[in-house]
Every structure is written in C-alpha cells, then in structure tokens.
Amino acid sequence: AQSVTQPDIHITVSEGASLELRCNYSYGATPYLFWYVQSPGQGLQLLLKYFSGDTLVQGIKGFEAEFKRSQSSFNLRKPSVHWSDAAEYFCAVTYSGGGADGLTFGKGTHLIIQP
Amino acid sequence: KAGVTQTPRYLIKTRGQQVTLSCSPISGHRSVSWYQQTPGQGLQFLFEYFSETQRNKGNFPGRFSGRQFSNSRSEMNVSTLELGDSALYLCASSLAGRVGQPQHFGDGTRLSIL
C-alpha cells in the first residue's frame, strides 16, 4: 500500500529564516506528489504538484519542492518564511494505474513561526 | 469562480443517529472525493464519485456511504453514528478525476458526536 512519511510533527522557524519540510513516499512506478497547506478551521490549499519533468517545481506563496526519485523524497522549501506561513503542511501521493485513486496523505507537519 | 462548498459547516449529533453532509464542487468539475480528518488517524480517503458512480473506496465500514447527482453535487451519509466518527469531513473536487489531477478542497464539515 502506498504511504507517505513526514518525519517532523512540529517545526519552529524564525521569521525570515529558510524552511525545509521533509516528505518521503513509498515506492511507486509513477508517483504524483502534492503539497497542501491547512490553516486552522479551513480546508486544504494546494501549494504545488509534481507529475513528471523538471524535478524542481515552483508553487504558490514562494514555495518550491524537489523530487528525488533515488531518495523517494519530495521536500518542500521556502527561502524566507513569513508569520502568515504558520499552518499545517501535508504531503500527499497517488500513483498511475487508471481512475482517480484517493490521495494518501502524510500525518502533517505543524509549522510555528517565531517573531 | 466559486470554490468547493460544503454544508453545513458544523454538526452535533448523538450516537446512533445518522447524518448527511453535502458538497457542491467547483463548476465544471465532475469528480468528487471525500476524506475524513481526525487527530489520531490524520487524513483518510473515504470514496470518490465520477459521473454519479462510485469509482473508488477507502477502507471504511459500510455505515459510510455517498452518492453523486447529475449536477455533480455529492452527499455523504453516515448511519448509526459512533463517537469515533467525530471528525472534520472534507470534500474535494477535480476536473475529470484523472489520476494526478489536483484536487480542490472545501473548508469541511466539523461533525461532533455526543
């Protein structure tokens, strides 16, 4: 069964500092990878997605992620965080195989921004 | 363009009751998926509907069911509610439901079981 691991439950970063959130997925022939963000009391907003091609993908709000097949990783990065980035971040995966299989999510990483 | 709309936003029920949640997808989107979010289990896939047919189902008991109407709106029903059904239920829509197509989420329905 497909799975996603986000090793860090909580991460605290100072405002203006760089950020990297880790994500590892179980092996699959052609993974489709996503990062979502969830603010309290709200649904999930798509930050970026990777299907194929360039392994460095750009998303909204200044986020980027790098796909590394050899490490089964899809880490999310941001050069300089803002207080408004405080939220829960979820990595998700699905695989090719026909139809729209549900996304498998990681447990999430709670990002805290220090002033 | 309006986003995914879920109603109601909050619900309080008691054990043994049943509940129906509603989801209106983004205009033009034909695929609707449902997820359950709890602190312990995280986000879990319930089922996906496309053109009024359930195409995929997660690992949930038969008490959880759904349907989709011809206008792509979807409802989810939970019968014989248990305390463990307390969760945020999220609906997501995508254009044609092909693998890898981004899913756009609503703000969810918060269900509390007393």
What DSSP assignment string belongs to A2-39? --EE---SEEEEETTS-EEE--EE---SSEEEEEEEE-
In the predicted structure, residue A10 carries a pLDDT above the cut 60: yes
pLDDT at A97: 56
Cis peptide before B8 (omega within 30 of 0): yes
Comparison of pLDDT for A96 and A45, the residue scoring more = A45
* Kind of pairing between the strands at B109-113 and B74-78: unpaired
d(CA A93, CA A101): 10
Q: Judge: B56–A107 Cβ closer than 8 Å, yes or no.
A: no
Distance from the Cα of residue B61 to its chain's centroid: 14
Q: Judge: A43–B106 Cβ closer than 8 Å, yes or no.
A: yes
A-chain residues near B43 (CB < 8 A): 90, 92, 103, 105, 108
Percent residues over pLDDT 90 in chain B: 85
Q: Judge: B56–A96 Cβ closer than 8 Å, yes or no.
A: no
Neighbouring residues of B73: CB distance < 8 A, sequence distance ≥ 6: B22, B23, B24, B25, B32
- Tell whether B102 lies on the interface with A, counting CB pairs under 8 A: yes
Q: What is the mean pLDDT of residues A59-76?
A: 95
Nearest to B112 by CA among B85, B79, B90, B76: B85
d(CA B56, CA A94): 13
- Tell whether A43 lies on the interface with B, counting CB pairs under 8 A: yes
Q: What is the mean pLDDT of residues B53-63?
A: 92
- Tell whether B2 lies on the interface with A, counting CB pairs under 8 A: no
Q: Report the residue of chain A nearest B110, measured CA to CA.
A: A41
d(CA B79, CA B77): 6
Neighbouring residues of A19: CB distance < 8 A, sequence distance ≥ 6: A11, A13, A76, A77, A78, A81, A85, A111
In the predicted structure, residue A51 carries a pLDDT above the cut 90: no
Please name the helix (run of DSSP H) or strand (run of DSSP E) that holds residue B36, with its range, or none: strand B31-38
pLDDT at A71: 92
Which residue among A51, A90, A102 sits closest to B100, beta carbon to beta carbon?
Answer: A51
Confidence of residue B97 (pLDDT cuts 50, 70, 90): low
Contact A57, A81 (CB under 8 A): no
In the predicted structure, residue B87 carries a pLDDT above the cut 80: yes
Encoding tokens for residue A76? Answer: 């999310």
Which residue among B4, B31, B108 sits closest to A100, beta carbon to beta carbon?
Answer: B31
State the CB neighbour count (10 A cutoff) for residue B61: 11
B-chain residues near A101 (CB < 8 A): 48, 56, 99
pLDDT at A26: 87
Comparison of pLDDT for A28 and A100, the residue scoring more = A28
- Tell whether B59 lies on the interface with A, counting CB pairs under 8 A: no
